[in-house]
């Protein structure tokens, strides 16, 4: 951890190299790219002859594609000093004696054998073993003194061995522990180049083969899918004004997981919402990799498009939901958002009336884990800042469900309302007839926007138009008609005939 950067991007690509006498092990192929805090999770096994080969050197190198690999730092361990230590530094004492499981006993000798050897070296009287107790140096140790009561009994060994281990841990011997060793470079011997967490076990060949090594391989992230169904919205801020002067919003919802911003998803648009209501029935589908033991998401991505290797980042699984107002001739308007940690998630409200800002201030004991509960449905508030105060920008009705990769194959579900549209099946949203894009539907625009709002003005205009048209025709025709009546040229011609 805390390694000194060696590359131009402020990171390094470290790997481990070990030397013991004339033996060298290089783990060059398994370098960890683009990090200053690598996790190697490697176990190396070597043989040596003491005191001829006593110095164990553990080095970290920075991998480079073109130039020579550069040493980051190293640490040296005197194996002879540990082998001859009176504190039993060959293999640290664990807290429990397990004959199976992940904490299986590694030492070549059992706790009873170790305790007898210790008594011989320190000239102590050997312990006396009874049925359920051990007497040692004037004290009687029973089951009540053991520290392994929380461990499953199927992994634990015999009672006498467990009591012997309990006595050994009180004798000042080295316990099982991790070492954090500073790394130094020969070019800058006074400046620490980082720290290395490790441990060393020594097993003399004369005592026989050791127990199985502890597995330190890093956990592999499991693939999960987050299914987020946006059902409805309510009380969304009306951010626009229609051509008829009404307040409205063209609502859509956008969502993504932290670290997966490149995989943002959004619903279709509910046009012309006059009351802040929106209907969607739209499914988001977010694949991600998750470490259940650490409760973190693992994201592998390249820092730059020219990067050769992907760097690994661990993030808290957070879901971001935003409400937006769609605009065709300008940038869309952001209305409000909601951010939830899937491990400590807000409990939803059962109805939009109960969905208030108080839901955002729930105590920690009321938060739920979606990974434990698997599925949650309800209403959540999306907030925004207005004049320095937090207000409700809208309320979203959602269903959240976590499924494994196997469950996704057994119960598939498509994005949006695409096939396979199941688990559950999503119907087309039942939106009002007024929900449409005005310039793409001129007839609907006239019917639902212009006519509804200006109906009486249009009728009055038509009446006035016909009145004015009649008056115009009358005024145009009346003088000619009156002159014909007064002169009567056709009447005189008929009388002469």
71 and 118 together in one domain: no
Task: Let me know if residue 495 belongs to a domain.
Answer: no
Q: 413 phi and psi, to 5 degrees? A: -150, 140
Whether residue 398 contacts residue 232, with contact meaning beta carbons closer than 8 Å, is answered with: no
Task: Give, to the nearest 10 degrees, the angle between helix 159-168 and helix 111-122.
Answer: 40
Separation in Å, CA 367 to CA 248, 319, 337, 342, 344: 35, 15, 19, 10, 5
Task: Let me know if residue 190 belongs to a domain.
Answer: yes
d(CA 447, CA 64): 69
Question: Could you write out the three-class secondary structure of the chain?
Answer: CCCCCCCCCCCECEEEEEEECCEEEECHHHCCCCECCCCCCCCCCCCCCCCCCCEEEEEEEECCCCCCCEEEEEEEEEHHHHHCCCCCCCCCECCCCECCCCCECCCCCCHHHHHHHHHHHHCCCCCEECCCCEEECCEEECHHHCCCCCCCCCCECCHHHHHHHHHHCCCCCCECCCEEEEEEECCEEEEEEEEEEECCCCCCHHHCCCCCCCCCCCCCCEEEEEEEEEEEEECCCCCEECCCCCEEEEEEEEEEECCCHHHCEECCCEEEECCCCEEEEEEEEEEEEEECCCCEEEEEECCCCCCCCCEEEEECCEEEEEEEECCCCCCCEEEEEEEEECCEECCCECCHHHCCHHHHHCCHHHCECHHHHCEEEEEEEEEEEECCEEEEEEEEEEEEEEEEHHHHHHCCCCCCCCCCCCCCCCCCCCCCCCCCCHHHCHHHHHHHHHHHHHHHHHHHHHHHHHHHHHHHHHHHHHHHHHHHHHHCHHHHHHHHC
Residue numbers of the domain that contains 2: 1-92+176-205
Q: Count the alpha carbons within 13 Å of 384 in the hemisphere toward its beta carbon.
A: 16
Task: Let me know if residue 352 belongs to a domain.
Answer: yes
d(CA 70, CA 28): 12
Separation in Å, CA 373 to CA 1, 223, 293, 343: 35, 18, 17, 10
CB count in 10 Å sphere of residue 24: 12
| C-alpha 389: how far from chain center | 29
Which of residues 356, 381, 410 is at a domain's end? 410
Angle at 468 between CA 462 and CA 473, to 5 degrees: 125
342 and 227 together in one domain: yes
245 and 376 together in one domain: yes
260 and 354 together in one domain: yes
287 and 151 together in one domain: no
pTM for the full model? 0.77
Which of residues 410, 442, 473 is at a domain's end? 410
d(CA 157, CA 159): 7
Task: Let me know if residue 217 belongs to a domain.
Answer: no
Which two tokens mark 319? 């879901």
62 and 187 together in one domain: yes
Q: What is the pLDDT along the chain (497 residues), one digit of tens a residue?
A: 999 998 888 889 999 999 999 999 999 999 999 899 999 999 999 999 999 999 999 999 999 988 899 999 999 999 999 999 999 889 999 999 999 988 899 999 999 999 999 999 999 999 999 988 999 998 999 988 888 777 778 889 999 999 999 999 999 999 999 999 999 998 888 899 999 999 999 999 999 999 999 999 998 999 999 999 999 999 999 888 765 667 888 899 999 999 999 899 999 999 888 888 999 999 999 999 999 999 999 998 887 777 778 888 899 999 999 999 988 778 999 999 999 999 999 999 999 999 999 999 999 888 999 999 999 999 999 999 988 899 999 999 999 999 999 999 999 999 999 999 999 999 998 876 655 454 555 544 555 555 566 667 777 888 888 888 888 888 888 787 777 777 766 555 555 55
183 and 324 together in one domain: no
195 and 256 together in one domain: no
Q: What's residue 489's pLDDT?
A: 63
Look up the CATH number of the domain holding residue 36. 2.60.40.150
Whether residue 183 contacts residue 73, with contact meaning beta carbons closer than 8 Å, is answered with: yes
β-partners of residue 30 are: none
Q: Which residue has the tokens 């040596």?
A: 48
155 and 29 together in one domain: no
152 and 180 together in one domain: no
Total number of domains constituting the chain: 3
330 and 383 together in one domain: yes
Task: Let me know if residue 463 belongs to a domain.
Answer: no
Which of residues 390, 410, 430 is at a domain's end? 410
| C-alpha 33: how far from chain center | 21
Q: 138 phi and psi, to 5 degrees? A: 85, 0
Query: First and final CA of the chain: distance in angstroms?
Result: 128
129 and 272 together in one domain: no
Whether residue 412 contacts residue 423, with contact meaning beta carbons closer than 8 Å, is answered with: yes
β-partners of residue 76 are: 57
Whether residue 73 contacts residue 194, with contact meaning beta carbons closer than 8 Å, is answered with: yes
Separation in Å, CA 381 to CA 164, 272, 347, 392: 60, 21, 11, 6
Task: Let me know if residue 215 belongs to a domain.
Answer: no
Whether residue 268 contacts residue 280, with contact meaning beta carbons closer than 8 Å, is answered with: yes
Q: What's residue 341's pLDDT?
A: 96
Look up the CATH number of the domain holding residue 132. 3.30.160.20
Task: Let me know if residue 339 belongs to a domain.
Answer: yes
Task: Let me know if residue 211 belongs to a domain.
Answer: no
């Amino acid at each position: 951890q805390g390694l000194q950067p060696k590359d131009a991007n402020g990171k390094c690509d470290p790997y481990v190299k070990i030397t013991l006498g004339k033996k060298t092990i290089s783990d060059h192929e398994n370098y960890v790219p683009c990090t200053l805090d690598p996790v190697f999770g490697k176990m190396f096994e070597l043989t040596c002859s003491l005191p001829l080969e006593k110095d164990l050197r553990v080095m970290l190198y920075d991998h480079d594609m073109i130039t020579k690999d550069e040493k980051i730092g190293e640490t040296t361990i005197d194996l002879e000093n540990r082998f001859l230590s009176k504190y039993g530094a060959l293999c640290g004492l664990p807290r429990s004696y397990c004959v199976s499981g992940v904490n299986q006993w590694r030492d070549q000798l059992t706790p009873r054998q170790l305790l007898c050897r210790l008594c011989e070296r320190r000239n102590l009287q050997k312990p006396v073993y009874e049925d359920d107790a051990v007497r040692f140096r004037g004290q009687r140790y029973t089951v009540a003194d053991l520290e392994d009561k929380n461990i499953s009994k199927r992994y634990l060994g015999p009672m006498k061995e467990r009591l012997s281990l309990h006595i050994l841990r009180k004798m000042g011997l080295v316990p099982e522990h991790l070492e954090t060793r500073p790394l130094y470079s020969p070019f800058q011997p006074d400046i620490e180049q980082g720290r290395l967490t490790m441990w060393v076990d020594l097993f003399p060949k004369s005592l026989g083969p050791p127990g199985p090594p502890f597995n330190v391989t890093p956990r592999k992230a499991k693939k999960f899918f987050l299914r987020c169904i946006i059902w409805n919205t309510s009380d969304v801020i009306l951010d626009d004004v229609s051509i008829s002067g009404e307040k409205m919003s063209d609502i859509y919802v956008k969502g993504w997981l932290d670290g997966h911003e490149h995989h943002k998803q959004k619903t279709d648009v509910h046009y012309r919402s006059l009351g802040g209501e929106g209907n969607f029935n739209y499914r988001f589908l977010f694949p991600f990799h998750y470490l259940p033991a650490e409760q973190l998401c693992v994201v592998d991505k390249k820092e730059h498009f020219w990067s050769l290797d992907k760097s690994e980042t661990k993030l808290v699984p957070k879901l971001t939901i935003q409400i937006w107002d769609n605009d065709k001739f300008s940038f869309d308007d952001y209305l409000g958002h909601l951010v939830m940690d899937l491990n400590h998630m807000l409990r939803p409200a059962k109805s939009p009336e109960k969905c208030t800002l108080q839901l955002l201030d729930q105590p920690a004991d009321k938060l739920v884990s979606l990974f434990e509960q698997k599925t949650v449905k309800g209403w959540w508030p999306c907030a925004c800042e207005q004049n320095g105060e937090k207000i409700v920008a809208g309320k979203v009705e959602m269903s959240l469900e976590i499924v494994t990769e196997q469950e996704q194959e057994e119960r598939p579900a498509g994005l949006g309302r695409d096939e396979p549209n199941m688990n559950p099946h999503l119907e087309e949203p039942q939106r009002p007839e007024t929900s449409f894009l005005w310039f793409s539907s001129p007839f609907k625009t006239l019917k639902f926007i212009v006519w509804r709002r200006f109906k009486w003005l249009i009728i009055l205009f038509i009446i006035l138009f016909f009145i004015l048209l009649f008056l115009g025709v009358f005024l145009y025709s009346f003088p000619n008609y009156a002159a014909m009546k007064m002169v009567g040229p056709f009447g005189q011609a008929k009388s002469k005939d």
